Structure 1
Amino acid sequence: MANPIILIVNGPNLNMLGKRQPEVYGRETLADIEAACIRHAGLAGLDVEFRQSNHEGDLVDWIQGARERAAGIVINAGAYTHTSIAILDALLSAEVPCVEVHLSNIHQREDFRHHSFVSKAAKGMICGFGSHGYILAIDALARLIRGS
């Protein structure tokens, strides 16, 4: 039997990790995070589909597709977290558990970053732990998928 698949979705500007504001977002690249996620998910008996786009429609399409093929979603929607009702609607329609991740603690940052549309669809949010937040999200999602 195949391992359950989790979709890890990354929004705008996350392709610039390691270059863009390393004092806020860290020095790891998105490729580094992807490799760590694949490794860690494998230990948990999960397969990973890891995606990034700067385009909202791509994110919506991938999330909608998760309904048919993924057991859960980890999402770092980047700036779309604070603006996108379309992503919220896609997450709600996917009907799989979702964990929201942010590299920085969004509650310690500018006021506009304190509101998350994604949170309305997510089982929980992990923020402020840098790239380790993805690992924590995979662990949380594995528990949600297994019902433990």
Structure 2
Amino acid sequence: MGICTSTGVIRDFAGPYFVSEDNMAFGKPAKYWKLDPARVYASGPNAWDTAVHDASEEYKHRMHNLCCDNCHSHVALALNLMRYNNTSWNMVTLCFFCLLYGKYVSAGAFVKTWLPFGLLLGIILTVSLVLHLR
């Protein structure tokens, strides 16, 4: 998960002590959620970019933790710094809203996102059914 500056540059907490620019850790985005800059409650004409910059600078000094302090946390900090929608952001709220409001960049991106899960689920169900029928 990354967050764009006002010029469209994606910032992504891609690994320990590293925030990438336009080179996301897991490849090109498959899904996006377009946010409304009018919902930024922080002051100043460049509040959006300042918040994204400050969050990125903070995360350049952090160890990446897959479960607790990751790219989702980086985006949540940026949204909290800009007071986006006057909401308290965290990994859970971001996940919920991205699932609800996010749009896939293409049909291929949808397939790329859900095919591995579908295959794994199919294998589990098949093995479960075979074991049950024995």
TM-score after normalising by structure 1:
0.26
Normalized per residue, the structure richer in strand is: 1
TM-score (norm 2): 0.28
